[in-house]
């Protein structure tokens, strides 16, 4: 039997036609739908972490106290717990910033008719995020309460 008689099928054409052989896109390069299940679940988790951070910040005012010799003392155990949970909340905010670089958006020019067209180009997504909310998000991610706490501990120690 002569194998030259059979026409050869290019493997790439076969892979494109049959989804069984398609490789899934790696999660680092995947663009997320803003109305998808993953983004909606993440927004709920992020909202809870923001509420935790909101209720933790006033606890920093309870760290300094007046001791028996009328000297200012700090509650170290409360400071460690509050700083730990606030740092975790800041890490959630950093993850949210990274997620914004991978979440598609609706093009402003297509909002007039119907639902609108999703922009899935990573360059356009990054450019839009850097021009709109990036600086505000970066300032919110900075660990200012933790830095003030370190300054306070070093100043009064």
* pLDDT 10s digits, 143-157: 887 887 777 666 665
Q: Residue 8 has what pLDDT?
A: 53
Q: Which two tokens stand for residue 59?
A: 């606890």
Contact indicator for 119, 125 with CB cutoff of 8 Å: yes
Residue 7, in any domain of the structure: no
Residue 2 has pLDDT above 60, yes or no: no
Residue 80, in any domain of the structure: yes
Residue 14 has pLDDT above 70, yes or no: no
Residue 95 has pLDDT above 90, yes or no: yes
* pLDDT 10s digits, 43-92: 999 999 999 989 988 888 887 777 777 777 777 888 889 889 999 999 99
Residue 3 has pLDDT above 60, yes or no: no
Q: What is the separation, in whole angstroms, between the first and last Cα of the chain?
A: 90
Residue 127, in any domain of the structure: yes
Report the distance separating Cα 109 and Cα 83, nearest Å: 44
Report the distance separating Cα 141 and Cα 51, nearest Å: 15
Q: Is this prediction's pTM over 0.95?
A: no
* pLDDT 10s digits, 15-35: 555 555 556 667 667 889 898
- Domain hosting residue 111, numbered range: 27-156
Residue 109, in any domain of the structure: yes
Q: Which two tokens stand for residue 110?
A: 């297509």
In order of 18, 20, 21, 22, 23, the CA distances from 14 in angstroms are 6, 10, 8, 10, 13
Residue 5, in any domain of the structure: no
The b-or-e profile of 8-36 (16+ CB within 10 A means b, else e) is eeeeeeeeeeeeeeeeeeeeeeeebeeee
Centre a 10 Å sphere on the Cβ of residue 112 and count the other Cβ atoms it contains: 7
Q: Please tell me the total count of domains within the chain.
A: 1
Q: Residue 153 has what pLDDT?
A: 66
Residue 133, in any domain of the structure: yes
Residue 19, in any domain of the structure: no
Residue 132, in any domain of the structure: yes
């Amino acid at each position: 039997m002569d194998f030259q008689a059979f026409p050869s099928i290019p493997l790439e054409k076969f892979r494109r036609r049959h989804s069984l052989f398609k490789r899934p896109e790696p999660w680092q390069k995947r663009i997320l739908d803003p109305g998808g299940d993953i983004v909606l679940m993440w927004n709920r988790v992020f909202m809870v972490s923001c509420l935790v951070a909101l209720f933790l910040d006033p606890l920093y005012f309870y760290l300094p106290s007046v001791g028996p010799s009328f000297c200012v003392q700090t509650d170290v155990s409360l400071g460690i717990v509050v700083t730990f949970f606030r740092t975790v909340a800041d890490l959630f905010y950093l993850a949210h910033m990274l997620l914004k670089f991978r979440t598609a958006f609706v093009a402003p020019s297509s909002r007039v008719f119907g639902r609108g067209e999703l922009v899935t180009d990573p360059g356009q997504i990054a450019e839009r995020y850097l021009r709109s909310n990036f600086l505000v998000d970066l300032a919110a991610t900075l660990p200012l309460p933790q830095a003030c706490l370190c300054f306070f501990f070093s100043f009064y120690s």
